[in-house]
Amino acid sequence: MINNYELYKVFYWAAKTGSLTQAAKALYITQPSVSHAIKQLEDSFGLALFYRNSKGVALTQEGAILYSYIEQSQNFISRAEEKMAALKNLDSGELRIGGSDSLFKHYLLPYLEEFHQRHPGIKLHLNHGTTPEIISFLKEGRIDLGVVRMPIVDSQLEVRESIQLKDCFVAGPRYEQLKGETLSLEMLLEFPVILFSRNSRARMAITELFQSYGYKLKPEIEVGSVELLIEFARKGLGISYVTKEFISKELEEGSLFEIQLDVKLPPTHVGIMTMRNMPLSISARRFIELVQ
């Protein structure tokens, strides 16, 4: 059993070029080194692999059989090296990102667009879900990184802080009488409140805030997307709790306005989450550098 790949490489180039001298040049070694490597192979197999002719060397019948296998393996190795170079240069590969629909649309979209323009050979795979789902995707190896709201407390994860977001309550023209008014939490609860139905960080944070003041926040309407939170508020179905940065257009055009409260709503931060002590792909590292 021969474990020295270098011997097979010498054999390959000697067979390919039909010359010990040319094989030595291709491998940047001396001709005696080539002769010695071939002799080692022949001694190991107990078979002659080459015979000399007027042009240099040629394969024996046994050598030709060995070459048919070694040529395939050399081709695979060459393709593997080319693939590694393409991955290093971001000419090919993939980038798998987990996040919520709203973060993809309102936060990550410009970065995804720029990354795709810079590296069109990288395939983008976006996995949508709640924060607990994104954490599971990451630990299962289904994504390279997750973009989620903080805080995240998990010893297996590394979280890089990114942007700060401000959540707020908003209403449409139907609640025009509240514009310019400052409401207490108790007064706010007199109106129908619309919240995201899934187990999001934003909902958990606002629920905990109300609890800290002794109130139970029970939504009149629960919806499954941020877009519905916005649309229901615009239609006058209630007061929605949304991220202010995601509704800048609606606030500017006046289809929504912010409800002022007598308590300060704490800001939240977006974090880029990866597995701790797990090497990142080059594409993942480049994307994180772009976002930060």
Q: What is the pLDDT of residues 126-153, one digit of tens each?
A: 999 888 899 999 999 999 999 998 888 8
Range with top average pLDDT, 13-17, 84-88, 197-201: 13-17
Q: Which amino acid is at 250?
A: E
Tens digit of each residue's pLDDT (9 = 90 or more) over 14-41? 999 999 999 999 999 999 999 999 999 9
Residues 216 and 191 placed together within one structural domain of the fold = yes
Q: Has residue 3 got a pLDDT over 70?
A: no
Confidence (pLDDT) at 81: 84
d(CA 94, CA 127): 13
Asked whether residue 103 falls in the same domain as residue 155, the answer is yes
Number of structural domains (the chain) is 3
Q: Once rounded to an integer, what is the mean pLDDT over residues 170-194? A: 95
In single-letter form, the type of residue at position 16 comes to: K
CA 235/CA 233 separation, integer angstroms: 5
Helix 109-118 × helix 282-291 angle, to 10°: 130
* Percent residues over pLDDT 70 in the chain: 98
For residue 214, give the CATH number of its domain: 3.40.190.10
If asked whether residues 40 and 98 sit together in one domain, one would say no
Supply the CATH number for residue 18's domain: 1.10.10.10
Residue reference for tokens 């994860």: 157
Q: Among 88, 113, 133, which residue terminates a domain?
A: 88
CA distance 239 to 229: 9
What percentage of the chain carries pLDDT values higher than 90?
Answer: 74
Task: Return the pLDDT at 79.
Answer: 83
Are residues 173 and 98 located together in one domain of the fold? Answer: no
* Adjacent-strand bridge partners of 239: 193
In this structure, are 66 and 194 located in the same domain?
no
Which of 67, 88, 109 lies at the terminal end of a domain, its last residue? 88
Assess contact for 246 and 253: CB atoms under 8 A.
no
Domain finish residue from 56, 88, 120: 88
Q: Which two tokens stand for residue 120?
A: 């069109």
**Ramachandran quadrant class, 93 (left: phi over 0; alpha: psi -120 to 50; beta: rest):** left
Q: Would you say how long the chain is, in residues?
A: 292
Q: What is the pLDDT of residue 55?
A: 87
Q: What is the largest CA-CA distance in the chain?
A: 102
176 and 247 in a single domain? The answer is yes
- Same-domain check for residues 59 and 139: no
Q: Indicate whether 59 and 143 sit together in one domain.
A: no
Co-location of 286 and 141 in the same domain: yes
pLDDT bucket at 200, cuts 50 / 70 / 90: confident
What's the pLDDT at 2? 53
CB 207 within 8 A of CB 282: no
Instruction: Give the C-alpha separation, 22 to 14, whole Å.
Output: 7
102 and 144 share a domain?
yes
| Angle ∠(178,184,187) on CA atoms, nearest 5 | 65
Buried b (16+ CB within 10 A) or exposed e, 151-181: ebeeeebbbeebeebebbbbbbeebeebeee
What's the whole-number mean pLDDT along residues 186-201? Answer: 88
Range of the domain at 37: 5-88
CB atoms within 10 A of CB 94: 14
135/130 Cα distance (integer angstroms): 9
Number of alpha carbons in the 13 Å side-chain half-sphere of residue 267:
9
Question: In angstroms, what CA-CA distances link 107 with 88, 113, 148?
Answer: 27, 11, 11
- What is the rounded average pLDDT of the residues 31-60? 93
Q: How confident is the model at residue 5 (pLDDT cuts 50, 70, 90)?
A: confident
Q: Do 234 and 171 belong together in one domain? A: yes
Per-residue pLDDT band for 197 (boundaries 50, 70, 90) equals confident
pLDDT at 290: 93
User: How far is the C-alpha of 110 from the C-alpha of 116, rounded, in Å?
Assistant: 10
In degrees and rounded to multiples of 5, residue 157 shows phi and psi of: -115, 150
How confident is the model over 174-181, as a mean pLDDT?
A: 94
**Using one digit for the tens of pLDDT, what is the confidence trace for 228-272?**
999 999 999 999 999 999 999 999 999 999 999 999 998 889 999
Do 113 and 84 share a structural domain? no
CB atoms within 10 A of CB 39: 12
| Average pLDDT for 196-202 | 76
